Structure 1
């Protein structure tokens, strides 16, 4: 690994060496994952994976594990607005893929998704999503649907259930208008593309859940108000086995802060005739089952005090539920399948570095696709064959980072101003003493999210470059129950941002951060937190890097649905909580990055921030990326973000 500390370099030649080293390392970490998404064929003999290309395109790669084992590109996507997101096996020889793009509708950027199918050699490409056709009456189906059942007809591979948004059409045969609008479900043959409706569209339907054997058993209905906005309540109905009659199951209410109340169904176990779902227990989210026999009987499956159980583990074409997970200082998995529980524990101990093991997919005959990774290892995919008990390595997640020594991530706590202990993760440069370092506070996005132990390309880049990085799970973060979540990171921004600033003060008080060498870096809500932190305390951070940040809460309200407006709140806290409206208080130089096809956070948010800072006479730079979305899925763009952020922080901190 190339790794010289700033203190060991001096003079113009040393500065150039640092710049060159930074560019090389930025390119390694800026490279996109070698594998964006991966799946195992139904017979376990092949894998298919989406491999992003550095210029923004992507390739679908197929590997014949029973043959030469060499990855072959069967589909290539050119750079542009379209993004190949995923490809999964419908049969042993045919795949169904999802593609997304962004549509500019009079200045509003709308995400559009479509499904298509192709053979494993790349031939016979056909569209699976229903076309709206020339007879559509004034409506556009933004979603091309999603696969809710990969085995729609048992014993007949290639029949899938796909949701469809039906739009009004003109019946050309008789010349009359047909007002059929809403979500329904179709059965589609992925080879012949024959299709028929199995669930007629319901105007306010928002969700369907199948039992993994071709039977739609649950429907969610979310009312729509006069402005076309979804309301904050979903009513779920279910069917008993063999019945077509809907019966009441549960109601889930979404409060203004974004927390749910009620039983939220997730996945059906047809053999037991129950549905798994989330429900609150003692202020935290727990996993329950509810009987689908009309009794409404519930059983607690998994709960942990003060922690949300928030991960359901499903594998195989029937999406069998095999476990659930939650995160404390590390993600913990509880397997319901005894064989997988034993296997997961054994592999975690046997593999180098004792990594976390996640089961990703399963073939019909029980072969398993898994990922082993850790804080210092981006991960490797493996195939496990239970018949031979052989574990075969397949692909690294990030090939460019092979041989790079990473910084260990450890769990810490620090005191907030009111004495509350805030959980966080501290990553130090490899081989560092942990004292007198340039340091970064890195608040997470969301805000309804949290940081977890594991590999993080952004954190590790800065650690390898010599920074200490602290990731606070401030109050307003998800995963720690309703009391910790408060009213979310926007409505409760004073508490959330106060906790973020206290993270910086702790780094200094502990002697980890060298005097005057403390910066803050964030993406999305993390970018908002980075900017707003200096509104609360202009003297704390010496430099601010914000990627795709929210900067004006009122503008965000205007651009949001009613649920979004409720989530943000209203009143003086909206103006006071907007860094763009308080730009005059910010003293540190600001570096902004934003893609102009961002449908999560409009690029106008960064442009407003730039204008307000310039108007206040502040130092600011905005770097825009044409055609890129919120994630900046381009190696060139990410490399630029890393290299320029590093150079910016070094200059501002004087090292």
Structure 2
């Protein structure tokens, strides 16, 4: 914990004695980088929004740079046999992802898998540069496996190829079922045969699987456990065994064959802890101090160093390099920490009405006057201490923010993540009410409720149950009519969503049923190209609120989908929501 503690002390020491913090507008203009990928020559590919769109960039080992002329890129991956990347991009936010080849030296773009209305998910490259991906071209609900443009295997459900075998003759494929349930199978590419590796039935995850040899696989899994750990599968016994546990989720890992070292990112109440370990030693190696936050994209390099992506409350998403066994740390790419006046969010625990303990992150101003409870989407997700101009600005203005992990959130083990399934949905509302009671116990009595996607759906239901609790609502891309949503959402999501919500026709699960109880001011937004929660869901709520004269700000984003991808739109939303909450909570 030394790295995190050092930064927390530094940040805390700045409160009250630092220069004036940056304006909200300047915070929204900070550029972030993400998804780093290095090739064998030491060239770095990554995503950045510095152009006003999220594009792929390359920074050569020698210092030269290039930018792809393609917007809304979500992934960039090197071909191991050529100076070529495959870019996955979402043309209009509808999640109909396409694959484009890019030669950074010439700037040339060449289609790899592009068909309008068809989804293509990048999978992996073989050592010889063969491209594996999945596509729902045959059926809107089913993703078959493709190799270099040719269908390799027909499969039902959402399948994504993840890794070729050592000789390039086999391919690992992960099938996503319910939110917290995956299957892992291996395709013999010569014989066309499949082998089920992970159980065909169950509620376990199998993340980042990879071959250590032809007979052994390593991966992250919670098979037979409450949390994600590193496990090994052996072909001769067809059995799994645990290699590494951490008392919480291991979220990212890498292994350096040369030094025989593991690197792990461990989730501890939302914050990441980096641990580097010799395979044969019990004690962890010294690592230098990094900004607190979330650590991902771990990668060892030939010189023994480790790079990772860091995203923290004071640190816009950026790339860092450490040298295990020494305190040496280097910022590779990205903005320096934004430190002025920051109070980092603190992990909290509180007790719901049925005795269930729920957690979250609390951002507490020096002199709080009101509070916002922020509900994340998913619900299989977690409040994380990442860079948010809106949260920084609200705290600066004296508005506390409780990012609440209601039951159904991840990061607290398998059982907690399943507590809200089906009938448990209404108990998640109890958790929201427990959050308001907790804030009252700390002397506050004026609250707003804010959520996106599932978080917005839960915000509707919570506000309708106890409208007197809330001075304002901010809701985005949220379900308003559950049966309608189940009819309208993208076909490939139905299996997953049925496991989460069931096929309930009970009107109590639809916020439109009790919309008449919503009299508080509402800020509502939705992307017109949303295929997860179709735009009609937001539009129906907008019309219902207007019909009963509920004070309403309605923001439609015609060029966005479920998540806002364009920096200008994200900036507009942040500025408008900050102004709205200021007006309603601190008149």
In structure 2, how many angstroms separate the alpha carbons of the residues matched to 1:501 and 1:385? 46
Matched with 1:377 is 315
The alpha carbon displacement at 1:643 in A equals: 2.1
Which of residues 541, 547, 569 is equivalent to 2:476?
Answer: 547
> Which stretch shifts more, 361-370 or 521-530?
361-370
Query: Structure 1's 263 and 445: CA in aligned 2 closer, same or farther, altered over 3 A?
Result: closer
CA contact (8 A) 1:233 1:252 kept: no
Matched with 1:441 is 373
Please state if 1:200 is matched with 2:152.
Answer: yes
CA contact (8 A) 2:378 2:455 kept: yes
In structure 1, how many angstroms separate the alpha carbons of the residues matched to 2:565 and 2:282? 35
The alpha carbon displacement at 1:207 in A equals: 4.1
* SS of the residue 1:266 aligns to: strand
Which of residues 256, 267, 274 is equivalent to 1:327?
Answer: 267
In structure 2, how many angstroms separate the alpha carbons of the residues matched to 1:222 and 1:522? 29
Q: Greater CA radius of gyration, 1 or 2?
A: 1
Gaps (5+ residues) in structure 2?
A: 1-19
* SS of the residue 2:437 aligns to: helix
Query: Structure 1's 586 and 162: CA in aligned 2 closer, same or farther, altered over 3 A?
Result: same
In structure 1, how many angstroms separate the alpha carbons of the residues matched to 2:452 and 2:577? 12
Matched with 1:37 is 35
CA contact (8 A) 1:448 1:477 kept: yes
Matched with 2:332 is 394
Matched with 2:168 is 215
In structure 2, how many angstroms separate the alpha carbons of the residues matched to 1:116 and 1:91? 16
How many residue pairs get aligned? The number is 558
CA contact (8 A) 1:277 1:288 kept: yes
* 1:263-315 alpha-carbon deviations (Å, 9 max, x no partner): 7883322276234352433555554221022x22321123456x4x3524247
* 1:614-654 alpha-carbon deviations (Å, 9 max, x no partner): 22332222111110122212233222222222222222224
The alpha carbon displacement at 1:261 in A equals: 4.8
Query: Structure 1's 87 and 233: CA in aligned 2 closer, same or farther, altered over 3 A?
Result: closer
Please state if 1:603 is matched with 2:535.
Answer: yes
TM-score under structure 1 normalisation? 0.73
* SS of the residue 1:649 aligns to: helix
Which of residues 156, 160, 166 is equivalent to 2:130?
Answer: 160
In structure 1, how many angstroms separate the alpha carbons of the residues matched to 2:371 and 2:175? 46
Which of residues 447, 456, 475 is equivalent to 1:518?
Answer: 447
Matched with 1:301 is 243
The alpha carbon displacement at 1:426 in A equals: 0.7
Matches within 5 A, 1:65-104: 65-66=61-62, 69=63, 72-77=65-70, 83-91=72-80, 94-101=83-90
* 1:98-131 alpha-carbon deviations (Å, 9 max, x no partner): 232357xxxxx953223333333243433333x6
TM-score under structure 2 normalisation? 0.81
Matched with 2:10 is none
* 1:423-444 alpha-carbon deviations (Å, 9 max, x no partner): 1211123xx14xx522111111
Matched with 1:177 is none
Please state if 1:113 is matched with 2:113.
Answer: no
| RMSD of Structure 2 on Structure 1 (CA) | 4.1
In structure 1, how many angstroms separate the alpha carbons of the residues matched to 2:559 and 2:152? 37
* SS of the residue 1:76 aligns to: coil
Matched with 2:4 is none
Matched with 2:463 is 534
Matches within 5 A, 1:105-144: 111-129=95-113, 142-144=118-120
CA contact (8 A) 1:362 1:368 kept: yes
Query: Structure 1's 315 and 619: CA in aligned 2 closer, same or farther, altered over 3 A?
Result: farther
Query: Structure 1's 120 and 446: CA in aligned 2 closer, same or farther, altered over 3 A?
Result: same
In structure 2, how many angstroms separate the alpha carbons of the residues matched to 1:317 and 1:143? 36
Matches within 5 A, 1:148-297: 148-151=124-127, 153=128, 159-163=129-133, 165=135, 183-186=144-147, 200-204=152-156, 206-211=159-164, 213-217=166-170, 236-238=184-186, 246-253=194-201, 260-261=203-204, 266-270=209-213, 273-281=216-224, 283-293=226-236, 295-297=237-239
CA contact (8 A) 1:553 1:578 kept: yes
Please state if 1:569 is matched with 2:502.
Answer: yes
In structure 1, how many angstroms separate the alpha carbons of the residues matched to 2:261 and 2:133? 21
In structure 2, how many angstroms separate the alpha carbons of the residues matched to 1:524 and 1:336? 38
CA contact (8 A) 1:147 1:160 kept: no
* 1:149-206 alpha-carbon deviations (Å, 9 max, x no partner): 352x3xxxxx2342354968xxxxxxxxxxxx973442x5xxxxxx8x6x83334483
Matched with 1:50 is 47
Query: Structure 1's 85 and 246: CA in aligned 2 closer, same or farther, altered over 3 A?
Result: closer
In structure 2, how many angstroms separate the alpha carbons of the residues matched to 1:316 and 1:58? 31
Gaps (5+ residues) in structure 1?
A: 1-20, 104-108, 133-139, 154-158, 169-180, 189-194, 224-228, 255-259
CA contact (8 A) 2:94 2:561 kept: no
In structure 2, how many angstroms separate the alpha carbons of the residues matched to 1:302 and 1:387? 20
* SS of the residue 1:37 aligns to: strand
In structure 2, how many angstroms separate the alpha carbons of the residues matched to 1:354 and 1:127? 40
The alpha carbon displacement at 1:497 in A equals: 1.5
In structure 2, how many angstroms separate the alpha carbons of the residues matched to 1:88 and 1:456? 27
In structure 1, how many angstroms separate the alpha carbons of the residues matched to 2:387 and 2:282? 23
CA contact (8 A) 2:178 2:500 kept: no
The alpha carbon displacement at 1:518 in A equals: 1.4
Which of residues 52, 60, 82 is equivalent to 1:64?
Answer: 60
* 1:10-46 alpha-carbon deviations (Å, 9 max, x no partner): xxxxxxxxxxx99x833233336431433223222x3
* 1:193-242 alpha-carbon deviations (Å, 9 max, x no partner): xx8x6x8333448344434635354555979xxxxx99999765447999
CA contact (8 A) 2:261 2:276 kept: no
* SS of the residue 2:316 aligns to: strand
Please state if 1:414 is matched with 2:354.
Answer: no
Query: Structure 1's 594 and 354: CA in aligned 2 closer, same or farther, altered over 3 A?
Result: closer
In structure 1, how many angstroms separate the alpha carbons of the residues matched to 2:106 and 2:281? 34
Which of residues 421, 427, 446 is equivalent to 2:363?
Answer: 427
